[in-house]
Amino acid sequence: MILSIPKLIDRDTVTSIRSRLDASDAPWVDGRVSAGYSGAPVKLNQQISEVSQLAAEAGDQILSFLERNPLFISFALPNQVYPPMFNRYGEGMTFGNHVDGGVRISPATGRKIRADLSITLFLADPSEYDGGELVIEDTYGTHEVKLAAGDAIVYPASSLHRVQPVTRGVRVASFFWIQSLIRNDGQRSILHDMDTAIQRLNATSGDEDARRTLVGCYHNLLRQWSET
């Protein structure tokens, strides 16, 4: 299941982060430093050094919005979040078909996180570049994603995906991973659908007994399926 989150961060925060990423002294390095053996041959981009102060501070800005976003919480049921990373694709840069590594180890903290979900937060508007679409393949088909700056897309890390070559301008984004309380994508989707239904019943003052029963079912399934 794939989820688009509009306006995950506001325009002022996008501008603040971009001003630092676009600075001449920003610590950009070859993106292959974080690629595995299968990803490195098809990866051609740049990323901000994970151990830099810029990565830590800009990442904290993003996480402050993420932890307050009810749509993200409902969909991802996050247990741990990998520190946000930042990449850019100039003209001719691309990232071919790949599947994200199952476990990520932060070089800054040494912490290990199982990558259940991947998230891309766009930091450049579509008008700033041509190409650069994120293409995700799953059981429901192929999805081509190119969102406004500040919008994010969340999708299973097990999905085959790629970034199309950029033919004009520069594509800038943040990307990272989530270890969910619910490892199984199908179970997580059921809980998200249930939570959405509960919220709609709350908003429309639906039958109180029915709401109480549905809430109980939700938490009993969460109790049965969750990993902490």
Structure confidence by residue, pLDDT tens digits, 119-162 = 999 999 999 999 999 999 988 789 999 999 999 999 999 999 99
In the block, which residue shows the tokens 């192929």? 142
Element (H, E) at 15: helix 11-21
Are residue 145 and residue 211 in the same domain, yes or no?
Answer: no
Are residue 20 and residue 48 in the same domain, yes or no?
Answer: yes
165, 180, 195: which is the final residue of a domain? 180
Q: What's residue 198's pLDDT? A: 93
| Number of folded domains that form the chain | 2
Residue 214 sits in a domain of what CATH number?
Answer: 4.10.860.20
Distances (CA, A) of 225 to 80, 187, 192, 199, 221: 16, 8, 13, 21, 6
**Nearest-angstrom CA–CA distance, 150 and 152:** 7
pTM (global) more than 0.85: yes
Are residue 168 and residue 194 in the same domain, yes or no?
Answer: no
Are residue 113 and residue 74 in the same domain, yes or no?
Answer: yes
- Domain of 197 in residue numbering reads as 185-225
Q: Which of 60, 87, 69 is nearest to 7 (CA)?
A: 69
Structure confidence by residue, pLDDT tens digits, 12-47 = 999 999 999 999 999 999 988 887 666 778 999 999
Q: What are the tokens at 83?
A: 């520190």
What band does 228 get if pLDDT is binned at 50, 70 and 90? confident
Structure confidence by residue, pLDDT tens digits, 61-95 = 999 999 999 999 999 999 999 999 999 999 999 99
Are residue 92 and residue 172 in the same domain, yes or no?
Answer: yes
Is 90 exceeded by the pLDDT of residue 175? yes
What band does 210 get if pLDDT is binned at 50, 70 and 90? confident
Are residue 99 and residue 165 in the same domain, yes or no?
Answer: yes
Are residue 16 and residue 126 in the same domain, yes or no?
Answer: yes
Are residue 81 and residue 148 in the same domain, yes or no?
Answer: yes
